[in-house]
Structure 1
Amino acid sequence: MVGACFEVYKEKGNGFHEAVYQECLEIEFELSAVPSVAQLPLSLEYKGKLLSQKYIPDFLCFDQIVLEIKAVKALFDDHRAQLINYLRATGKPLGLLVNFASFPKLEWERIAYTTRIWFSRFFAYLAVRN
């Protein structure tokens, strides 16, 4: 997956909208035989009942890894929180956050979801707010 992201960045560089990178990655994943589904609506539940709200990550790869792509000047905690929420809500264990707008190189972060990570980020957030 990361290799496909590097290939797209090598070919297109930075400066395009996120949708361009999304489409390029769909092609690159197909060419490199990475099993992926783009923009798959993921169902959410509350007390055993399905919610009408859905999370729609950019890609779900290998049915386990959520890939969220960005085309922004820099990655911020809001972007990380979005990916962590996708992981938390869906129970997927691993996420990849990739920023194609960074220069001079691709910016990416791997996030493994555990309840310990979520709680540490939550308490860090509370400490900053107080």
Structure 2
Amino acid sequence: MNVEEISAIVVDCAFHLHVDLGPGLLESVYEAVLARILAERGLRVERQKAVVFEYQGIRFDDGLRVDLLVNDCLIIELKSVEALKPLHSKQLLTYLRLLQMPLGLLINFGAPTFKEGCKRLVNNHQNFASSRLRAREKTGGARSREDREAGGLS
């Protein structure tokens, strides 16, 4: 099953969950119920998956967690707030980049309608790397001119 098929199943399940339970519950309740429903549909679901990343040669494996990781290819970030904010999308995009995943769903069960509360976000980074890393890949590891002029990392 590919990520698009998995995404369609998740959206269908989340839609019905939103209709059946409605807004107003804690995020953790929606997370537990959605994880169970998805598992019953035959998907592998990990809850509160740690986002492990490396920065300046130091490994960080605590502090960042995705709500649900489905079949090792789809990140689901859940919210139960009145309205989504740009920060919520940025959070999911960062998780997608750090975990090198292609697709994520931001689902807000606090929205009046499911359509208002569901966003599909695609990781558009080439090879899922940051622009600085892509520049280094193209130059064989050498710093780009922009990095040198800006005093960027080597």
For the aligned pair, the TM-score class normalised by the smaller chain equals: 0.7 to 0.9
By how many angstroms is 1:51 displaced?
Answer: 1.9
Asked whether the 8 Å contact 1:8–1:28 carries over to 2, the reply is no
Decide which of 96, 117, 123 is 1:113's aligned counterpart.
123
Flag as ranges the 4+ runs of structure 1 deviating above 3 A: none
Instruction: Name the CA shift for 1:105/1:49 in 2 (closer, same or farther; >3 Å).
Output: closer
Give the aligned partner of residue 27 of structure 2: 18
My pick for the range that moved more, 68-77 or 106-115, is: 106-115
My pick for the range that moved more, 85-94 or 49-58, is: 49-58
Please report the TM-score for the alignment, with normalisation by the length of structure 2: 0.69
- SS of the residue corresponding to residue 66 of structure 2 reads coil
Unaligned runs of 5+ in 2: 1-9, 132-154
> Is 2:60 aligned against 1:55?
no
CA–CA distance in structure 1, aligned partners of residues 125 and 35 of structure 2:
31
Instruction: Name the CA shift for 1:82/1:44 in 2 (closer, same or farther; >3 Å).
Output: same
CA–CA distance in structure 1, aligned partners of residues 47 and 12 of structure 2:
17
Give the aligned partner of residue 110 of structure 2: 101
CA–CA distance in structure 1, aligned partners of residues 98 and 28 of structure 2:
24
Asked whether the 8 Å contact 1:4–1:32 carries over to 2, the reply is no
Give the aligned partner of residue 85 of structure 2: 76
Please report the TM-score for the alignment, with normalisation by the length of structure 1: 0.81
Identity %: 29
Cα deviation code 1:97-116 (max 9, x no counterpart): 00001113351011011127
> Is 2:54 aligned against 1:45?
yes
Letter in 1 for 2:76: L
Asked whether the 8 Å contact 2:73–2:102 carries over to 1, the reply is yes
Cα deviation code 1:2-29 (max 9, x no counterpart): 1111121122111111011011112111
Instruction: Name the CA shift for 1:13/1:90 in 2 (closer, same or farther; >3 Å).
Output: same
CA–CA distance in structure 2, aligned partners of residues 12 and 50 of structure 1:
40
Task: Considering Cα pairs closer than 8 Å and 6+ residues apart, tell me whether 1 or 2 has the greater RCO.
Answer: 1
